[in-house]
């Protein structure tokens, strides 16, 4: 019991330091885990010492950082954990190797001169400051194999937190560097898409077509492998968003179908319900901007 209290005090002190000294927005994460312990965690994350004490006096919570609210973007370099690299990254052992190749291709040095955390399973979190006036979202595999990023709508587990495998620990106490321009360019949202040409179908077939599209995209989401999950869900939400924008699919129905299809991924490899909801919202919003009209053909 005394050991548990000591661990709780240690975590409280680390949470307060993160909020006061580093100016991070803090949230409680389940003890010895990596799932937020509160609902609406992004809005509830705080730098208020009183609220942080109220949380961490209750239980030995792990410490979460609301990345976007803290003005950060965190590059998460994972170990392979036995997964072979795909052909495009043949020979790479982990996300660090992939980042090194990306930096070399850009003619830059590896951007590791910044505040850095090592996770209990050997992963690396590189902390960067988001460029002013920009909004980045979470990504999964956008930069390359075994590289994810956390930004607006995302959180990371902070130094001092503990899991069964060990501690999250600082391995580079350098000041948090600005996000390198070449990484910012690679992560920038795509430009607004051109309008989509209308689809002409025989009379009475539009409903069957929409149904088939929804079922096919949801099947792809459910069957997506971990490394392609985010990209597959975003693509599916974009396609259904085009139908929503064209007035042939109800948005709430599209959202519900996508959330149900993605539910099996929650709790797998850092995936949370909040991540799913944010990706669905982003994809639907993007798709609505290029509405797909469906009308009967003249035949």
Is 159 within the bounds of a domain? yes
Asked if 37 and 29 count as a contact pair (C-beta separation under 8 A), the reply is yes
Q: Are residues 140 and 230 part of one domain?
A: no
Q: Are residues 234 and 179 part of one domain?
A: no
User: Which pTM value belongs to this model?
Assistant: 0.71
Q: Are residues 141 and 203 part of one domain?
A: no
Per-residue pLDDT tens digits for 271-290: 888 889 889 999 999 999 98
Is 192 within the bounds of a domain? no
Q: Are residues 170 and 275 part of one domain?
A: no
Domain carrying residue 82: 2-187
Q: Are residues 277 and 140 part of one domain?
A: no
DSSP state at residue 268: S
Per-residue pLDDT tens digits for 41-98: 999 999 999 999 999 999 999 999 999 999 999 999 999 988 999 999 999 999 999 9
Q: Are residues 216 and 112 part of one domain?
A: no
Write down the mean pLDDT value for the chain. Answer: 90
Tally of structural domains, the chain: 2
- Which are the contacts of 8, defined by CB distance < 8 A and separation ≥ 6? 56, 57, 59, 60
**Residue 197 binned pLDDT confidence (cut-offs 50, 70, 90):** low
Q: Are residues 237 and 146 part of one domain?
A: no
Q: Are residues 248 and 181 part of one domain?
A: no
Q: What is the mean pLDDT of residues 106-128?
A: 97
- Does the pLDDT of residue 204 top 70, yes or no? no
- Which are the contacts of 128, defined by CB distance < 8 A and separation ≥ 6? 72, 73, 74, 75, 111, 114, 176, 177, 178, 179, 180, 183
Residue where one domain finishes, among candidates 135, 165, 187: 187
């Amino acid at each position: 019991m005394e050991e548990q209290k000591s661990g709780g005090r240690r975590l409280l002190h680390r949470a307060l330091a993160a909020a006061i000294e580093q100016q991070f927005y803090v949230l409680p994460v389940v003890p010895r885990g990596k799932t937020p312990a509160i609902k609406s965690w992004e809005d509830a994350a705080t730098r208020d010492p009183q609220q942080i004490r109220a949380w961490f006096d209750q239980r030995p919570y792990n410490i979460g950082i609301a990345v976007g609210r803290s003005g950060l973007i965190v590059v998460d370099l994972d170990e392979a954990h036995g997964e072979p690299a795909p052909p495009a990254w043949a020979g790479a052992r982990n996300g660090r190797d992939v980042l090194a190749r990306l930096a070399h291709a850009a003619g830059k040095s590896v951007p590791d001169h910044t505040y850095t955390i090592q996770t209990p399973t050997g992963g690396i979190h590189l902390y960067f400051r988001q460029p002013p006036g920009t909004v980045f979202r979470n990504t999964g595999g956008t930069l390359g194999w075994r590289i994810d990023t956390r930004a607006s709508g995302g959180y990371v587990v902070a130094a001092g937190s503990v899991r069964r495998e060990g501690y999250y620990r600082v391995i580079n106490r350098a000041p948090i560097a600005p996000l390198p321009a070449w990484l910012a360019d690679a992560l920038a949202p795509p430009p607004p898409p051109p309008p989509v040409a209308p689809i002409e179908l025989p009379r009475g077939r539009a409903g069957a077509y929409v149904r088939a599209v929804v079922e096919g995209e949801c099947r792809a989401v459910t069957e997506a492998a971990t490394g392609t999950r985010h990209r597959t869900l975003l693509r599916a939400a974009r396609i259904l968003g085009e139908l929503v924008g064209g007035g042939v699919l109800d948005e709430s129905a599209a959202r519900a179908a996508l959330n149900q299809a993605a539910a099996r991924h929650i709790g797998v490899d850092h995936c949370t319900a909040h991540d799913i909801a944010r990706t669905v919202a982003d994809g639907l919003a993007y798709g609505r901007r290029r509405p797909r009209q469906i009308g009967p053909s003249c035949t």
